[in-house]
Amino acid sequence: MVSAFVRESPRKAVALAQLAEGIGGVLLELQGSATVALKLAEAGFVPGARVRLVRRAPLGSPLEVEIDGARFSLRAETAALVMVQIHA
């Protein structure tokens, strides 16, 4: 089970997959292989973009994610590679 977002330091980077529903922030970096990072970047997942976890499927994956107003479904494993700075 994914734990709820804990408000700590607003500068702390957190994986998108770890956020609670409705929580968002600014995308800091993409981790993982260059191929996955390129595919995400082509869809708008670039540093500085505003991202929010909209909802999670009943079994935890996929995740509905909003990035700069567009919505996507991401596997939880992929969302774990997207590092976000939480909004204060």
Domain count, the chain: 1
Query: Residue 2's pLDDT is what?
Result: 40
Query: Residue 11's pLDDT is what?
Result: 63
Q: pLDDT averaged over consecutive 10-residue blocks of the chain (88 residues)?
A: 43 90 95 92 94 95 94 96 88
Distance, in Å, from the CA atom of 55 to the CA atom of 41, rounded to the nearest integer, reads 21
Per the structure, the complete domain to which residue 76 belongs is given by 13-86
The candidate with the shortest Cα–Cα distance to 52, out of 69, 28, 30, 31, is 69
Distance, in Å, from the CA atom of 51 to the CA atom of 58, rounded to the nearest integer, reads 21
Residue 2 lies in a domain: no
What HEC string does 11-79 produce? Answer: CCEEEHHHCCCCCEEEEEEECCCHHHHHHHHHCCCCCCCEEEEEEECCCCCCEEEEECCEEEEECHHHH
Residue 4 lies in a domain: no
Question: Is this structure's pTM higher than 0.85?
Answer: no
